Amino acid sequence: MFGNSLPALLALSLLGAAPPAPAERAAASKDIAAACGERDGWSDPAPPAFIHGRSWYVGTCGITVVLVETSDGLVLIDTGPVEAAPHVLANIKALGFDPRQVKWVLMTHEHFDHVGGMAEVLRATGAKLLTGAGAAEVMRTGKPAADDPQGSWLADSPMEPVKVSRILPHRGKLSVGDTRFTIYQNATHSPGSTSWSWRSCEAGRCLTIALADSNSTISTGDYHFSDHPERVEAAREGLRVMERLPCDLMLTPHPGQSDLLERLSGTAPLAAPNACVAYSASGSMRLADRLAKEAEAK
């Protein structure tokens, strides 16, 4: 695969990870932002793109899906909506990987735009699904949580129920080969919202990648956050968790939340100091504005 001598391979292993093979790099888009252009739909096709180390973007123009290669198979985070599942699988193949190498599928939050394609992806890969405690029942039933602020909208698009193979607590860890993934419960956007972090090494430089879940507090129907103080406190605590994430390189569930496509294309810095701190602060400001507007309307 690498065409390197044994000493070179040993040197790479000491750095913590081997770089992507030339064929895999060639298959990845060098300008995913231009490929998507003005398209940002959840199912709008996007080419795969290289992130860092052994991590890849395999989602759409509007939904982030991440593929991580480990020494013991692949890990996928999110699937996009059901319409995007075939495209995600095609992107995995375009990078030269067999989807059947996916051992685990992880997830950010239990909404159909991010995990509606879960059942199809699990069937195609034979992988196991791992969730946080707050999302498990929604994935098992396909029905939104009763306390989800977007429940009235989500009920119109139920998901196909799937088997949950493992549930992790806050700060729980999943080790797959040489890579360890840490889950963080941050119920800001939904009751089951979670973020993830993992270590990524390339050419002697190691970073911690954080896939920080959505920082927005939005609702549908006649839901008012001010009528649900427990939900407001859960959202605030979730933002505090995201603020403290190990976060050398931040990814977000919607690429537009963090100019991710531009950063993957090299037109903006890929990694920025305090990215998760600023992301959390932005969410806090929007929540405060939402509560203020609700108070004015009473």
Pairing between β-strand 73-77 and β-strand 102-106 as defined by DSSP bridges: parallel
Q: Where are the beta strands (DSSP E) in the chain?
A: 49-52, 55-57, 66-70, 73-77, 102-106, 128-132, 166-168, 173-176, 179-185, 194-202, 205-211, 249-251
For residue range 51-108, list pLDDT tens digits in order. 999 999 999 999 999 999 999 999 999 999 999 999 999 999 999 999 999 999 999 9
Where does 17-297 sit in CATH, by number? 3.60.15.10
For residue range 172-212, list pLDDT tens digits in order. 999 999 999 999 999 999 999 999 999 999 988 899 999 99
Name the amino acid, one letter, at 89: L
Whole-number pLDDT of residue 23: 54
Whole-number pLDDT of residue 204: 87
- pLDDT exceeds cutoff 80 at 124: yes
Q: What is the DSSP letter of 167?
A: E
Pairing between β-strand 179-185 and β-strand 194-202 as defined by DSSP bridges: antiparallel
Please answer whether residues 97 and 73 qualify as being in contact, where contact means their C-beta atoms are separated by less than 8 angstroms: no
Q: Is 298 exposed, middle or buried (0-12, 13-18, 19+ CB in 10 A)?
A: exposed
Task: Give the whole-angstrom CA distance, residue 218 versus residue 297.
Answer: 17
Please answer whether residues 187 and 238 qualify as being in contact, where contact means their C-beta atoms are separated by less than 8 angstroms: yes
- Mean pLDDT of all residues in 267-296: 97
Place of tokens 């051992």: 103
Average pLDDT over the chain, rounded to an integer? 92
DSSP H/E element including 295: helix 275-297
CA 51 from centre of chain? 13
Q: Quickly count: other Cβ atoms within 10 Å of residue 12's Cβ.
A: 18
- pLDDT exceeds cutoff 90 at 4: no
Residue spans per domain, the chain: 17-297
Task: Give the whole-angstrom CA distance, residue 27 versus residue 102.
Answer: 19
Whole-number pLDDT of residue 24: 59
Pairing between β-strand 249-251 and β-strand 205-211 as defined by DSSP bridges: parallel
Task: Look at residues 139, 238, 142 and name the one whose alpha carbon lies nearest to residue 194.
Answer: 238
Task: Give the whole-angstrom CA distance, residue 152 versus residue 208.
Answer: 37
Task: Give the whole-angstrom CA distance, residue 257 versus residue 233.
Answer: 23
Task: Give the whole-angstrom CA distance, residue 77 versus residue 65.
Answer: 6
Q: Which of 7-21, 120-134, 188-202 has the lowest mean pLDDT?
A: 7-21
